[in-house]
Amino acid sequence: MLNIASVCRTLPTPVTPGAGVFVLRRLAAMAEASDIRILQPVPCLPPLRRLPSWARPPSHDIHGQTIHHAAMFYLPGMFKSLDGRWLEHSVLPRLRAWHRQRPIDVIDAHFGYPDGVGCVRAARRLGLPVIVTIRGFEAERVALPGIGPQIVEALSAANGCISVSHSLRDRMIEHGVPAGRIVVIPNAIDRDLFRPGDRLAARHALSMPADDALIVSVGHLVSLKRHDVVLRALGRLRSRGEAVRLAIVGGADYEPECPAALRRLAAELGIAEFVHFVGAVGPSIVADWLRAADLFALGTRREGCCNAILESLAVGTPVVTTPVGDNPHFVTEDENGALVPVGDDEAMAQAMARVLRRDWDRNVISAQLAVGDWPGVGRAVLDHFRAVLP
């Protein structure tokens, strides 16, 4: 049984239970056949930015997993090229102590920067193998001066690298990471939860009217998800006499001003009464919204492997989104939805109208989705670990 030390800054907390949930789902699946200890570096800048109250105890338990805390020095918006070093200094003492208590077989880092860079540096100090999983943010950060070269160096030096999408793997290879270093193991979905169901019953459970067409979008309220494009597209449809409304499922994240900006835009477009800001909700409620929807729409400008799209297809709801990340691997015109250019609200509106006019067989859409479950992903990750470890 492998003894694994997993490191990730973005994980569910008592305050943000939905953050990094897909990372934790994979770790939970791996824990069925390995010994995993999870370490979360928590940014702080004493005395100006203290550790949040949930991070002051040594650990917290959430979703059946224990997550240990390590304070990480952090300057918001400044000297970002040093974040990898600061993460190294954050995790090194705990990893060294864990290794003395029970020898670590491999360090499992999630996200290329700063987590991956910092963990590769720490692994060198400890003489331990390290594997880095890249999840999407790296697609933009790899092009940044001072940060991109660190990501390429870390992924090239690691014992292995897992990408959650083919497009992200290709992006890293373009920037110089050896192709043989990266394997693709996509995220999974919970098929027991995300499956076709009664659309009208879901509408009733959510207190949504049954007569209007319902578009649902799922994603954090941040600019990269481009909820503004979907709002403008909805405005175009309403102005053309379409009886349609929108529900945006997701809460505030690292851009706290974004939710208010989206609400202002809805008011300016004259569609506020037809837009429902649901907020952050649990997976079972997300599944209800997806079942209630006539259409899922996401104007995102960057993705790795978008779980919200996979979950929508799993319940049989057609998707209109952009051709970024691995979206084109899963969304095909006339089969389960449509792809539109990033930032083009007119193209988004036209695709929405086209998809809404069609009578889709939701069971067929769900059955055609070739995505595994979390136990299978856990096994694939552990198999890769064993294959690349010395």
Residue 147 contacts residue 153 (beta carbons within 8 Å): no
**From CA 101, how far away is CA 387, in angstroms rounded?**
25
How far separated are the first and last CA of the chain, in Å rounded? 15
The HSE-up count of residue 150 (CA atoms within 13 Å, CB side) is 23
Residue 18 contacts residue 62 (beta carbons within 8 Å): no
**Under DSSP, is residue 41 helix (H, G, I), strand (E, B) or coil?**
strand
- Rounded to the nearest angstrom, the gap between the alpha carbon of residue 350 and the centroid of all alpha carbons in its chain is 27
CB atoms within 10 A of CB 334: 9
List the pLDDT tens digit at each of the 390 positions of the chain: 999 999 999 999 988 877 888 899 999 999 999 999 999 999 998 877 789 999 999 999 998 999 999 999 988 877 899 999 999 999 999 999 999 999 999 999 999 999 999 999 999 999 999 999 999 889 889 999 999 999 999 999 999 999 999 999 999 999 999 999 999 999 898 889 999 999 999 999 999 988 899 999 999 899 999 999 999 999 999 999 999 999 999 988 778 899 999 999 999 999 999 999 999 888 899 999 999 999 999 999 988 889 899 999 999 999 999 999 899 999 999 899 999 999 999 999 999 999 999 999 999 999 999 888 899 999 999 999 999 998
For residue 353, what are the contacts with CB-CB under 8 A and spacing of at least 6? 237, 240, 242
The HSE-up count of residue 324 (CA atoms within 13 Å, CB side) is 20
The two structure tokens encoding residue 347: 């193209």
The two structure tokens encoding residue 246: 């929108």
Q: What is the pTM of this model?
A: 0.84
Q: Point out which residues pair with 248 in neighbouring strands.
A: 217, 277
Which helix (H) or strand (E) segment is 378 a member of? helix 374-388
The two structure tokens encoding residue 383: 């198999």
Domains of the chain with bracketed CATH: 3-188+373-388 (3.40.50.2000), 199-368 (3.40.50.2000)
- Rounded to the nearest angstrom, the gap between the alpha carbon of residue 56 and the centroid of all alpha carbons in its chain is 26
User: Hey, which bits of the chain come out as E strands?
Assistant: 3-7, 35-44, 59-62, 65-73, 106-110, 130-134, 160-163, 182-184, 213-218, 244-249, 275-279, 295-298, 319-321, 337-339
Q: Identify the burial level of 190 via C-beta atoms within 10 angstroms of its C-beta, where 0-12 means exposed, 13-18 middle and 19 or more buried.
A: middle
Residue-level pLDDT at 48: 72
> 65-73 and 35-44 as β-strands: parallel, antiparallel, unpaired?
parallel
Residue-level pLDDT at 371: 87
**From CA 335, how far away is CA 101, in angstroms rounded?**
54
Residue 19 contacts residue 184 (beta carbons within 8 Å): no
DSSP secondary structure letter of residue 80: G
